[in-house]
Amino acid sequence: MNYNTKPIKIPPFCEDLAEETGVHIGDGCLHIHKRGTSYYYEITANASEDKDYITYLIKKIKKLYNIKPSITSHKKTNTKTITYFSKNPLEFKYRLGLPLGPKKDIKIPNWIISNNKFITACIRGITDTDGTVGFKKKYKRYHYYPIVSICSTSRPLIYQLASQVLKLGIPLQFITLDIEKMKNGIRCGLFR
């Protein structure tokens, strides 16, 4: 465990915090041990595909909170977990509107929704973690038409994303699939 001895920094509302909040919405999780003796935050990423992104996230966490997180490799699942143990940032994230444990009905916090720069940064964080980029044939024989899709089990989040993307002026085709029929959740397709 990496317990930090340096003073913890609590950042002001800013684009970096909004992006890191988007990362949390996608792949992060807040935990408090049942007896309230252990507080930790973790982000899980693909070990082989996300090497550069893991380095990027560690730098962002260090900049925002003055914390150096620990990295744990999980060979069986080909993932790496970025973890830090600290009560203050965890309580701060909870006050920002991020839930403890499962994120079944997670939403983008109001302080982000009210600012175009913040919402853009948050969507970037969500897309980096839960988004997929692909190409579609559309009207030709080859795949040329770019598609960004985001998948989440949180129905409120998907509707928020669709609304915010439209407000930013990005064309959108909105698709939802029944959760029972799709293990990964509800899909929101964003087509440009």
**In the chain, what are the domains?**
15-191 (3.10.28.10)
What is the value of pTM for the model shown?
0.85
Which among 64, 57, 67 is positioned nearest to 15, based on CA atoms? 64
Query: What is the layout of strands, in order, in the sheet containing 131-136?
Result: 131-136, 145-152, 186-191
Beta carbons within 10 angstroms of residue 80's beta carbon: 19
Pairing of strands 70-74, 145-152: unpaired
pLDDT digits (tens, 9 = 90+) for 158-175: 889 989 988 988 877 776
Q: What is the mean pLDDT of the chain?
A: 85
Query: Within a 13 Å sphere around the CA of 52, how many CA atoms are in the beta-carbon half?
Result: 2
pLDDT digits (tens, 9 = 90+) for 21-72: 999 999 999 988 777 678 889 999 999 999 999 999 999 999 999 999 999 9
Which among 15, 1, 28, 22 is positioned nearest to 103, based on CA atoms? 28
Work out the percent of the chain whose per-residue pLDDT is above 90. 50
Residue 1 has pLDDT above 70, yes or no: no
